[in-house]
Amino acid sequence: MEHKIKYKAEAVFGGGCFWCTEAVFEELRGVISVMPGYTGGTVPNPTYEAVCTGETGHAESVQITYNPAVISYETLLRVYFTVAHDPTEVNRQGPDDGNQYRSAIFYADAQQRATALAVIDRLTAAKAFKAPIATQVVPLHGFYAAEAYHQHYAHEHPDDPYIVINDAPKVAMLHSRYPELVK
């Protein structure tokens, strides 16, 4: 018998190159889909080339559709902060530099905002990182799917040097740190 999803929710995170964040979140139980795209800017229907200029204001982001009966928004945030990217970096992640690679949580409602701020407060109080958390917590005002060739990029191009160097270690860390969350 096929298991039907009775409820689903969405989360949108910016954390550097969307190939990296997509690769991590696709591994999680309860995640239905992960779509790379662009949000947080002023240009409607941006292209990858335009976003790469840093002039659109958009961040490379992922839209995560998930079943909250299986995985919570707070658990997604835990993975976001501890595996998917470095939340202390300002306008960069790894080899990628520019405001399009900023760390940002794009909240859809007051509950997501409150949860994100509470997680940041707990991590800050615990001194979880050597530098201050730079993650922006900002309202979501639209999400634009990235071009088709960006979708599932790490899965479809596992031998790409960028994937081997930047994405594969994060996926391995997820499996090591949170094996109970992996599909």
The candidate with the shortest Cα–Cα distance to 133, out of 58, 77, 56, 177, is 77
DSSP symbols for 135-178:
-EEEE----EEPPGGGTTHHHH-TTSHHIIIIIHHHHHHHHHH-
Which member of 9, 11, 12, 17 is catalytic? 17
20 is catalytic: no
SS3 string of 40-78? CCCCCCCCHHHHHCCCCCCEEEEEEEECCCCCCHHHHHH
Place of tokens 């659109």: 56
Active site residues: 17
